[in-house]
Amino acid sequence: MTINRRQFLKYSGIGGASVFMGGILAACGETTATGVSSSTPPGAVTPTGLAATTHQAQPLNYNDLNPKRLANFSRPLLLPGHNGLLGVLDAGSQPFEVTARPATLEIFKGKSTDLQAYQVTMNGKTVVNPIFRIKPGANFTAKVTNNLGEDTTIHWHGLKVDWRMDGHPSMPVKNGSSYTYNFTVQNRGGTYWYHPHAHKLTPKQAYMGLASFYIVDDEDNLQLSNRLDLKFGETDLPVVIQDKQFDTDGKLVYDSGPDTQFMGFYGDTITANLTPNAFLDVDTRFYRLRLLNGSNARNYRLAFVRSNGNQKLAYWLIGTDGGLLDKPYQVSEVFLSPGERIEVLLDLTNFVEGEIVALKSMPFDPMHQEMGMMGRSGLSNGSSMGGTNGMVGTGTQSTTNSMPTGQLGEGEEFFILKLNVKNKVSYTRAIPTTLSNLAALDTTRATIRPFVLSQSMMQSTQMMQWLINGKSYTMDDYPISVKKGNTEFWEFRNEAQSMPHPMHLHGFQFQVVERLNSPSQLQGLTTYDRGRLATDLGWKDTVLIWPGETVRVALNFTHNFEGAQTYVVHCHVLEHEASGMMLNYKVLEG
Ligand code: C2O
Ligand code: CU
Ligand code: CU
């Protein structure tokens, strides 16, 4: 059996010992064998003693967090449960009251980490950063109260909703006030997510903890679960990957200075479900992982390796941003940029007890060839022009084990999650040959709309900034209008002197139809027709465009919302979005 809630508590550094201040609550309650939760009542002090037996003091020494050392991966991965952090809520059944508020989590023993989090208290239980699960056609209602002390909104990333429900930056929820988000789920089954989108505040609020999953379950997904005997929270696991930076007091560090705004924020500690250096005990069977890159700026080149020999494992890509693919595609590495999701099946049936499998990010050329950094001190080294060493925050000391904080360069190799094969089980299920129906959009009448990703020096500040079609975001400027019902090609062209930009748009999922001038490191991945990667073969809402590359996507603007719709298209490097790499677009009535 996989680890259950009781075992989890026993090992828990992040579970039983976790305390949210201000309504003080346990991050994880205890679940009995029948699945009924017996949570710590809100307001009670968390029984930290529960975790005392096996809990090890984890001093905040970077050597103990360094994600390059697999031996450091000794904290149990936080799993979704019935309550506490990442508690699961059946979302079609009733309206929710969600509070966005400051919170504290004991990630490191004896130290409290300040976060911002979403909290739902109902039926005597408290759920923090709930994972909403819902079916297509169901109605979702969340009254969101803002207690953050600053503006916020909730954006339902990937979901097709009326723009008034989309968390658009022009509709802020002011501190102390509430806003009710209400929509019918129109999306296919898939792994969507939610996070704030207030003007200029997205990067900091998402970094501080405001983000979680929104999972739509449809028939195809149900069939897959039955077929492979998958259970959500046990063998079907949502995992959000984020890079953070902690100071020696265990506090999150976020620096929003001009260099960060231009390059994006890169942390040196890799977390999975807010667990640094996480491990999970697994059985010899199939696992479905729903991987979300919830990082502000970091890209991952994801591979699974057998730790003895470091050899890469083939795994199955089964889903992208907008749900299941038509069939499983075998891959050994895929890039995952901020905002993107992939769903994978990992076949552990041939493993033996005691073996270790690690999810890691393989080395790659970050392609930070941005002109703006040339000759600037601190972040850039001279070799960043087209070289493989142009890593943010990387100095000469970056390859040692005792890196100072802030020194995990983009494109460096590191581990994300360790899987310990614990139990040999008999498991005879076979992977299905088909997963879902994916029809290509009819693009016979589609016209091409170009989007050029560039940079320029702001005269006022002498700072470099990123632009889309030569423009920076202005709240009341609507430079793009499309017609409801039309199909268009949106063509994202990234300049050669640039950095990778994960482009995302609100309102509609799209299909990647072509990649042109892709960098050579993509040729190491399996490619399909028209330069596409396996991750381009499904519905998408975010797509990574490398320097010099052109990516063409097809999208259809059919919707059933009332009146003109205003959405945004932006780079999902959150610092780029916040500093203006975003445009409004309108969908006009017929
Ligand atoms: Cu996940 Cu507008 O973003
Ligand atoms: Cu979005
Ligand atoms: Cu960008």
Q: Provide the token pair at 75.
A: 């904290």
197: Cβ below 6 Å to ligand 1? yes
Ligand 1 atom closest to the Cα of residue 193 is 1
Distance 476 CA to ligand 1 centre (A): 18
Q: What pLDDT was estimated at residue 524? A: 80
168: Cβ below 6 Å to ligand 1? no
Q: What pLDDT was estimated at residue 4? A: 34
Ligand 1, atom 3, lies closest to the CA of 157
Q: What does the radius of gyration of the chain's CA atoms come to, in whole angstroms?
A: 22
Mean per-residue pLDDT, 291-312: 93
Residue 321 half-sphere exposure toward CB, CA atoms < 13 A? 30
Lowest model confidence (mean pLDDT) among 204-218, 268-282, 408-422, 513-527: 513-527
State pLDDT tens for residues 84-119. 999 999 999 899 999 999 999 999 989 999 999 999
Show the beta-strand stretches assigned E in 130-189. 131-134, 139-146, 155-157, 178-184
- CA–CA separation, 125 and 421 (whole Å): 33
Residue type, 441: L
Q: What pLDDT was estimated at residue 523? A: 86
- CA–CA separation, 494 and 551 (whole Å): 9
pTM confidence score: 0.88
Give the model's confidence band at 183: pLDDT under 50 very low, under 70 low, under 90 confident, else very high.
very high
Q: What pLDDT was estimated at residue 63? A: 82
Give the model's confidence band at 17: pLDDT under 50 very low, under 70 low, under 90 confident, else very high.
very low
Q: What angle do CA 244, 76, 108 make, to 5 degrees?
A: 50
Mean per-residue pLDDT, 41-70: 53
Percentage helix, strand, coil for the chain under 3-state DSSP, each rounded to 5: 10, 40, 50
HEC letters along 313-372: ECEEEEEECCEEEEEEEEECCEEECCCCEEEEEEECCCCCCCCEEEEEECCCCCCCCCHH
Taking the alpha carbons at both ends of the chain, their separation in whole angstroms is: 55
Residue type, 584: N
Mean per-residue pLDDT, 354-383: 72
Q: What pLDDT was estimated at residue 310? A: 77
> Residue 60 pLDDT > 80, yes or no?
no
Nearest partner of 98 among 124, 122, 134, judged by Cα: 122
State pLDDT tens for residues 305-337. 998 777 999 999 999 999 999 999 999 999 999
- Asked if residues 460 and 318 have their Cβ atoms less than 8 Å apart, the reply is no
504: Cβ below 6 Å to ligand 1? yes
State pLDDT tens for residues 479-510. 999 999 999 999 999 999 999 999 999 999 99
- CA–CA separation, 558 and 589 (whole Å): 10
Q: Provide the token pair at 69.
A: 């050392």
Helices of type H across 470-539: none
